[in-house]
Structure 1
Amino acid sequence: MKILHTADIHLDSPLKSLALRNEDLRTKVQSATRTALVRLVDSAIDLEVAALLISGDLYDSAERSAKTAAFLSGQMERLRSAGIPVFYIKGNHDAENPITGEVALPENVHVFGARGGKVKIPQSDVWIHGVSFSSKHAPDSLLPKFGEPVPDAVNIAMLHTSLSGAVGHDPYAPCTLNQLRDLGFDYWALGHVHKRQIHSQNPWVVMPGIPQGRDIGEAGPQSASLIELGEAGMTVSALPTSVVEFTALSIPVGGCATDDAIRAEIRRHLSGFTQELQSDSAILRTTLCGATSRRWQILRDSDAWTQTIQDMALETGTLWVEKVAFDIAPESDAPDNSATGELQAIMESIRQEDAFAASLETDVISMINDLPPSLRAALLPSEEQATSLAQNLTEQGAAQILARMKGASD
C-alpha cells in the first residue's frame, strides 16, 4: 500500500528570479507550481497510491484567481476518476485565501476542519487524522485537537507546523518532537517548512519540503514523500517533483593560464551539472573561483565573462544563469610593491577598522530598510548576515577598483 504526502504547493505563487528576463524561461517558470502539482497527480495515478495527503498551503496568499481554483478542481477530478482519495488540511496561506473553501472540490477530497477529526482510507486499516488552521495565524499548539489513535490500525496525523521554530518561517502551531512522539501516531505528515527533513523514524515525523522551489532560498531539487506500507513495516522515500530548480554553482578555474582554458573549465562544469540535474531545468547563481594569473583580466572584464557564462548555459538547453559572482585570487602570494599593490594594502587596512565596518553595516541596513519586509527577511535574516553582506560588498568593491586600475594597461 502506498500513500503520497506533500505540502506547501503554494499554487501559482510567483517565482522570483532575475532569469525571468529571458522570455523563453518566463513561461516555464511562471507555470512551475502548476506543473509540479500535475506531476504529483501523475505519480499518484501511476503508482496507484491509496491516498494523497496535502498538509497545508495548497494556495499562495498572493494568488486569488478563480482560474487557479478551477485548475485545482480539474487535478482533483483526475484523482477521483482513478479512485484516489485526497486528505487536505488548511495552512496559514490557505486560511487567509478567500478562494479556499468557496470552490466546490470533487467528493474524493476531504478537507479537515479546525476542530480536527479522522477518516478511514477505504478498504484499509489506515486512519488519517488532521486539524486545519482556522485563521492565518496559529500561535498556539494544535495538538490538543487531535483525538486518540485508533487501536490496532495504522494512524497518520496531518499537521501544519513550524515545530520548535525554523529560520525564515513564522512560528505557527508550535510543538516539540517529543510531544509528537508521545501522542502515539505512526506517521506525522507535516507541512509549513519548505526544506525536506525526516525528524524521526520511530514514529515517522516527516516534513516533505516544497514540491517546487521559488527562489535561491529554496535551492536544489524538490520532492514529495512516498509512504509504503508492507509486511516489513513502513518505509518513506523522496519522490522528485520540481520542474525548475534553483542552484548555487561554483566553477573553479584555479591554475587556468589562458582565457581558452577558463572557457573550457566553465563549459565542463556546466555540462557536468546538466548530466546530474534531477529537474527539467535549473536557474543558476554561479561563482567563478580559484587562483589564476588571469585574475585582473577576469575582474576587469567581469561583464564579458558574465555574458560568456550565460551564453554557455543557454547552449545546454536546460540551464539559465541569473547571476555571476567572482571570487578570484591571485596565483602568486609574492608581495606587490606597485602603486596598485600599495592601494590594495591601504584599502585592506581600512576594511579591518571597526569604525569603518560599523559605519558600512549601518549604511547597508539603511538601504535594506527601503525594501519591502519580505525582501528584508530574505536578504538579512540575522545580524550576522548584515555583517557578512557588508564585508562582502567592501571586498568585491575593492577588487573591482584594483582590477580596473591594474587592468587598464594589461
Structure 2
Amino acid sequence: MGSQDRRATLTLLAAFLSMVLRSAWDPPANVGGGRDAFLGFGGHVRILCAGDLHLGRRSSRVPWDGDGAAGSCAEAWMRLVECAIRERVDLVALSGDLVDHDNRWFEAFGPLERGLKRLADAGIPVYAVAGNHDYDTLPHLARTIDAGNFRLLGEGGTWERATVVREGRPLLHIDGWSFPAERVTASPLPDYPRHPHDGVPVLGLLHADLDQPGSRYCPVALADLHQIPVDIWLLGHIHAPALRERPGCPLVLYPGSVQAMDPGETGMHGAWIVTVAAGARPAPRCIPLSTVRYEALEVDLTGVTDEDEARSRVVAAIRAALQEAATDAGPLTYLCCRVRLTGRTHLHRSLTGIARGFEEEFSLPDMSGRVTALVERVTIDTRPAIDLQALAAAPHPAGEVARMLQALDGNTDPPPEYRPLIDRTVAALRAVADHRWYRDVAGDPAPDASVARRYLVQEGWRLLDTLLQERGEA
C-alpha cells in the first residue's frame, strides 16, 4: 500500500471514529444554547458553591440599625456575587431555596436580577435547582429575569445536564434536579441518567434531605450518592454546613445557608469555593459571608459561691467564643450567643437576675471593634447544691419530688408508676402546641415523652428548691 493510500485509509478511519464518538456522546446545550462535542479536558474549574439563600429573610434576634439591610439575605447574596468576581471563579452553583417563599417574589426579584447581571458582566454563568421553598417561584423568576447567564436545571422533577464550556472545550458537566412540588417523599436517584464517561468532571446539583428515610423533602441516602459516577454532590436544604469525604467516593457538600438566619444556625456561614480538575480530588474551601454568627455556649457554675464569680465565668466563655469568631470573620458584625448555665451551685435560686442582666444589657466588642458579642438568651439548667440521694429517702413532699427527679433525670426508662404523669404532661404540652396561636409556628417537633421528661425535670428542680427554702434547708 502506497503512502497516499495509507493516508486515505487513516483519514477514513478518523472520520469513522469521530462519528462513533459523536453518536455515543451527545452533549447538552450550554448556557449560550450551542453544542460542543470536544471531548478533551484541560486545566481546572473553580466553582463557587452555595445554597439556601432564602431571599426575603433576614437574621433574627439581632438589633439592626435602620431597616436591617445588613442582616438581610439579599445583602448576603450581593456579597456572594462580589466574592465570585473577586475570586475569579468559572461559575456559580446554587442548590435550591434561593427564594424563601412565593410571597417573597417581589423582595427577591430585584436583588436576584441585579446580582445575576453583575455576574453576567464578569462572564460568570450561574446554575441552580429549585428546592421545597421555591419550587414554583424560581422557575417563574428564571423566565422573567433578564440576565442571560442564569440556568435553572431539572425543572418539574426531571434530571437535566448542562455543560460549561471554555474556548470550545467542556470544563464541567452539571446534572441537576429540581423540586416539582413542595413535598417530595421519594428519592430521585433511581432516575439518574447514566451518561457515557468522557473524562469531563461532573457536579451533581440537588436539594435533598440526607439519610432521613421518612423525610418529606427529597430523602436520599449517602450510600446511593456514592454509587453515582459524579465528582462532587452539591446539596441544599440543611442550613448547617457539612462536608462528607470518603476515599474513592464522590465528595458530598452541604454549603449551608449563606446568611445565618436564627440561633439554630450556629457556626460560620458563607459560600464554598471548590476546585475540580480531571483525575484530582475536589478541593473545597469555605468563605465566610454572614454578618451574624450564632453560638450555643455552656457555662458550668459548679462550686460558684457569689454572683460576681458567676458573671465572670459567663463573660470568659463569651470572650473565648468572640475571639474565635473574630478570626477570619469576613463581614461578621454580631456574635449572638445562647448561654446555658449548668452545674450545682448555691446560687441556683438567684441566677434569674443575672440571666436577665446578660439578656437585656450585655454587649462585648472584640479588640478591633468590628464584631460585637450579644446574649440572646440565658437558660438556667443548674441544680441546687444538695444531696439528692439522701433527700429521696425522706418521707416529706420534698423527698417525693427528689424521688421523681431520680426516676426521670437520666437516660434509663422510668419506673411504671411515673408513666401516667408523663402521659398527662405530653397531653398538656400538645394541647398548647396545637392551639391556634402556636399551630403554624415552624421548626418545633410535636411534644413527646422525652420532651415531657425534660419539662418535668426542669420544673421539678424548681419545685424542690422552693420546698427546701420553705423548710429552711436551702
Indicate the residue corresponding to 2:342 in structure 1.
289
For 2:217, the aligned partner's letter is Y
Find 2:223's aligned residue among 170, 178, 186: 178
Indicate the residue corresponding to 2:48 in structure 1.
4
Structure 1 residues 184-230: Cα deviation after superposition (integer angstroms, max 9, x where no partner): 11111121222322334421122222222322332222233321135
Structure 1 residues 64-97: Cα deviation after superposition (integer angstroms, max 9, x where no partner): 2424211111111221122211111111211233
- Separation in 2 of the partners of 1:382 and 1:223? 33
- 1:8 deviates by 1.3
Indicate the residue corresponding to 1:307 in structure 2.
356
SS in 1 for 2:212: coil
- Separation in 2 of the partners of 1:25 and 1:383? 41
Map 1:124-203 onto structure 2 (within 5 A).
124-143=170-189, 144=191, 146=193, 148=195, 150-165=197-212, 170-201=215-246, 202-203=249-250
The answer to whether residue 125 in structure 2 is matched with residue 71 in structure 1 is no
Structure 1 residues 24-80: Cα deviation after superposition (integer angstroms, max 9, x where no partner): 498267x33223222322221121111110011100116424242111111112211
Question: Which 10-residue stretch deviates more, 384-393 or 258-267?
Answer: 384-393
TM-score for both structures, normalised by structure 1: 0.83
Would you say how many aligned residue pairs link Structure 1 and Structure 2? 396
Indicate the residue corresponding to 2:445 in structure 1.
380
Indicate the residue corresponding to 1:326 in structure 2.
380
- Separation in 1 of the partners of 2:67 and 2:397? 44
Indicate the residue corresponding to 2:318 in structure 1.
270
The answer to whether residue 89 in structure 2 is matched with residue 49 in structure 1 is yes
Question: Which 10-residue stretch deviates more, 153-162 or 310-319?
Answer: 310-319
Q: Does the 8 A contact of 1:336 with 1:342 survive in 2?
A: no
CA RMSD of superposed structures (Å): 3.3
Assess, with a 3 A threshold, how the Cα gap between structure 1 residues 388 and 309 changes in structure 2: closer, same or farther: same
SS in 1 for 2:113: helix
Indicate the residue corresponding to 1:119 in structure 2.
162
Identity across matched positions, percent: 22
Q: Does the 8 A contact of 1:285 with 1:324 survive in 2?
A: yes
Q: Give unpaired runs (5+ residues) of structure 1.
A: none
Question: Which 10-residue stretch deviates more, 33-42 or 308-317?
Answer: 308-317
Q: Does the 8 A contact of 2:78 with 2:111 survive in 1?
A: no
- 1:314 deviates by 1.9
Find 2:402's aligned residue among 315, 325, 348: 348
For 1:293, the aligned partner's letter is H
- Separation in 1 of the partners of 2:142 and 2:308? 59
Q: Does the 8 A contact of 1:86 with 1:108 survive in 2?
A: yes
- Separation in 1 of the partners of 2:76 and 2:312? 34
Q: Does the 8 A contact of 1:13 with 1:63 survive in 2?
A: no
Indicate the residue corresponding to 1:208 in structure 2.
255
- 1:134 deviates by 2.8
Q: Give unpaired runs (5+ residues) of structure 2.
A: 1-44, 366-370, 408-417
Assess, with a 3 A threshold, how the Cα gap between structure 1 residues 264 and 146 changes in structure 2: closer, same or farther: same
- 1:175 deviates by 3.3
Indicate the residue corresponding to 2:150 in structure 1.
109
Q: Does the 8 A contact of 2:142 with 2:151 survive in 1?
A: no
Q: Does the 8 A contact of 1:296 with 1:403 survive in 2?
A: no
The answer to whether residue 295 in structure 2 is matched with residue 252 in structure 1 is no
SS in 2 for 1:125: strand
Assess, with a 3 A threshold, how the Cα gap between structure 1 residues 372 and 262 changes in structure 2: closer, same or farther: closer
SS in 2 for 1:355: helix
TM-score for both structures, normalised by structure 2: 0.73
For 1:172, the aligned partner's letter is Y
Q: Does the 8 A contact of 2:302 with 2:342 survive in 1?
A: yes
Assess, with a 3 A threshold, how the Cα gap between structure 1 residues 386 and 27 changes in structure 2: closer, same or farther: same
Q: Does the 8 A contact of 1:364 with 1:390 survive in 2?
A: no
Assess, with a 3 A threshold, how the Cα gap between structure 1 residues 53 and 384 changes in structure 2: closer, same or farther: farther
Structure 1 residues 326-379: Cα deviation after superposition (integer angstroms, max 9, x where no partner): 122334649998xx995532333456533323222221121111154453x633
